[in-house]
Structure 1
Amino acid sequence: MNQYTQKLSNIPPEICSVSDYERQAKDMVEKDIWAYIDSGSGDEICKNNNLNAFSSYQIWNRVLRNLSQGNTRCTFADVTLPHPIILGPVAHQKLTDPDGELATSQAAAATDSIMVVSTLASYSLEKIAECSSQYNWFQLYWQGNRQNTLALLQRAINANYQAVVITVDVPVNGLRRRIQRSGFSMPLEASAANIQTPPQPNIYADWQSEIFQGWMANAPQWDDIAWLISQSQLPVYIKGILHPHDAKMAQEIGATGIIVSNHGGRALDCAPSPLSVLPLIRQQTGKDFPVLLDSGIRQGSDIFKAIALGANAVLIGRPQLFGLIVAGALGVAHIIKLLRQELEVTMALAGCATLADIDQTCLVHPR
């Protein structure tokens, strides 16, 4: 079955937000593919809380300020970007577009955005790097042991990626009930191109647990991540941090920065939203340590709120797929443009000329 539909070659005026793209995308793919893209884990409490967390904050409207030199320039670690919107790692993008990650890479280049390429990309990390002149990061999943993980890291180094993002929050998958009920199975053309032999659980006895003695026996621990950092010639960001103590530990073992994330609500269904814990994490790490955030960004005011509560930049995940489904590379680029414009409007009406002007005093405390 061909899951690709005819994509828009021009964006009509009625598509003017991420939510518009989401509504359009839902009607353009098979129901089982939409279940894979859209679902969270368990009863999807966490996924819904990610979105609702942003609506619990309001932004003060400030007036009569000189904003004629305003901009969205973003700087952290050794990175300087024209805006704080990063394309987060999203797996299996050929589910939504025949060009998959290649199209997303084109959108990243057109909008001066970082693209974080997933270990589970449908194209090889080398091919994605070849088609992009932009600043690319590589998202790395632990491959069951140090040898295989290091081999994948070395491929990213050889392909001239500029940073590594090690994802640590899904040593086992969350309970993907909606996916299971949909009957979804991964089409061959969308399968992971970078992994020849997927990690397998440890051998366990009949009386033992598939989770604890199987999968978790090969899961990484803090000393493994410290070792990985020591082996990397690239900056290493740790993705999937929610607890302030884990944030501090990441800082202490030498991570360049962290990404506060609950995997878009696809891991632990009872986990807090990243936005709700962000101030505690920033308090723990101090003001100069790079802290990025993903999970739930849908509009420019969300980005403003994340920065106000301590984020240096944000990553978007599912919105990439909405754009790919509707209009391919053009759709992804348009979504980034919309989010940046929405952020600029929000900053202008909140009286903030730069990202450095955005802090907690810009927000009305949550109800």
Structure 2
Amino acid sequence: MSVPFIASSASTVPMEKIAEAMGDEPRWFQLYWGKDPDVTASFLKRAEASGYSAIVVTLDTPMLAWREYDLKNVYLPFLLGEGVGNYLTDPAFRSKLKKPPEVDPTAAIMHWTQVFGNAGLTWEDIAFLRKHTDLPILLKGILDPEDAKLALEYGADGIIVSNHGGRQVDGAIGALEALPQVCNVVQDKIPVLMDSGIRRGSDIIKAMSLGANAVLVGRPFMNGLAVAGGDGVKEVMKNMIADFDLTLALSGNRSVEGLDRSLLRESE
């Protein structure tokens, strides 16, 4: 479908295999920035070597939040070796283990629990990323316009307005609500993307009318995957693009360049 893909640090399949499957199609790498700088630097190097064209830095998950359904269902797939594929294949991570993951997977996963997440990061640490990659850096998880100002100050190449799908802070401001305030600060100096809550083509129209250059879609694809595998994902993509195209036309626009806030009416 030629839809760009963002591959997460927390994937079961290593980034190289994802890149191999995608061929020349566009892809970004989403970094969950951990405590081990050697692993972080290695991830960046691997992403570049595998043809990823940007780094998406997750700001809002320095640790996992209180997730009641996960606790109720005793759901933490990382402990089963799922979602740690990039770590178990990483030379820097493996060098810190007494035995390779193939010999002692439990010890490897326990070491992962010690390095995943980093609550001590500051804005100054972005310089570390710049030192280890020449790729554009987008900051994902910005909701506060003051943070948008700092993102500009520290040289971010893009911002992704996101509340992590509502999975990190219960009661957090919706990403769509935060979007206009961030765009007011950025003033088209860098791209602003929006993530969290995109379910239909009309949601894309609303986000772009409020200033987003593009949107990210996640959960609908997971639903399609659960129902019908790869074919289900493709069907969700096709339906969403068709819905977007029809809604664009029905709103009286020929292209996305015509979308702005005049298309929307604020709820009373």
TM-score by length of 2: 0.86
Residue 131 of structure 1 deviates from its aligned partner by 1.1
* Contact kept? 2:31, 2:55, Cα under 8 Å: yes
Match of 2:53 in 1: 162
1:226 to 2:117 alignment: no
1:300 to 2:176 alignment: no
**Residue of structure 2 aligned with 1:333, choices 220, 230, 234:** 234
How far apart, in 2, do the equivalents of 1:362 and 1:190 lie?
43
* Contact kept? 1:241, 1:261, Cα under 8 Å: yes
SS in 2 for 1:228: helix
Mapping of 1:40-189 within 5 angstroms?
A: 111-133=1-23, 134-186=25-77, 188=80
Q: Deviations over 1:327-356 (max 9, x none)?
A: 111111111111111111111111111111
Match of 1:237 in 2: 138
Q: Deviations over 1:25-79 (max 9, x none)?
A: xxxxxxxxxxxxxxxxxxxxxxxxxxxxxxxxxxxxxxxxxxxxxxxxxxxxxxx
How far apart, in 1, do the equivalents of 2:127 and 2:209 lie?
30
> Greater shift after overlay, 326-335 or 145-154?
145-154
How far apart, in 1, do the equivalents of 2:258 and 2:157 lie?
24
SS in 2 for 1:316: coil
Residue 253 of structure 1 deviates from its aligned partner by 1.2
After superposing on structure 2, the runs of 4+ consecutive aligned residues of structure 1 that deviate more than 4 Å are none
Q: Deviations over 1:188-218 (max 9, x none)?
A: 363420113425279xxxxxxxxxxxx76x5
Letter in 2 for 1:162: S
Letter in 2 for 1:240: G
Counting aligned pairs with the same residue, the percent is 40
Q: Deviations over 1:119-177 (max 9, x none)?
A: 01110101110111211111011121432211111111111111110101111211111
Match of 2:91 in 1: none
1:279 to 2:170 alignment: no
* Contact kept? 1:144, 1:199, Cα under 8 Å: no
> Greater shift after overlay, 229-238 or 349-358?
229-238
* Contact kept? 2:34, 2:115, Cα under 8 Å: no
Q: Deviations over 1:296-350 (max 9, x none)?
A: 0010000000000010000011112111111111111111111111111111111
Match of 2:112 in 1: 198
Residue 366 of structure 1 deviates from its aligned partner by 2.0
> Greater shift after overlay, 221-230 or 275-284?
221-230
* Contact kept? 1:292, 1:312, Cα under 8 Å: yes
How far apart, in 1, do the equivalents of 2:68 and 2:230 lie?
30
* Contact kept? 2:60, 2:164, Cα under 8 Å: yes
Which runs of 5 or more residues in structure 1 are unaligned?
1-110, 203-214
* Contact kept? 1:113, 1:135, Cα under 8 Å: yes
Which runs of 5 or more residues in structure 2 are unaligned?
89-110
How far apart, in 1, do the equivalents of 2:184 and 2:83 lie?
40
How far apart, in 1, do the equivalents of 2:28 and 2:177 lie?
26
* Contact kept? 1:229, 1:255, Cα under 8 Å: no
How far apart, in 2, do the equivalents of 1:339 and 1:165 lie?
23
1:261 to 2:166 alignment: no
Match of 1:315 in 2: 216
SS in 2 for 1:250: helix
How far apart, in 1, do the equivalents of 2:235 and 2:154 lie?
38
* Contact kept? 1:174, 1:267, Cα under 8 Å: yes
SS in 1 for 2:197: coil
How far apart, in 1, do the equivalents of 2:52 and 2:190 lie?
21
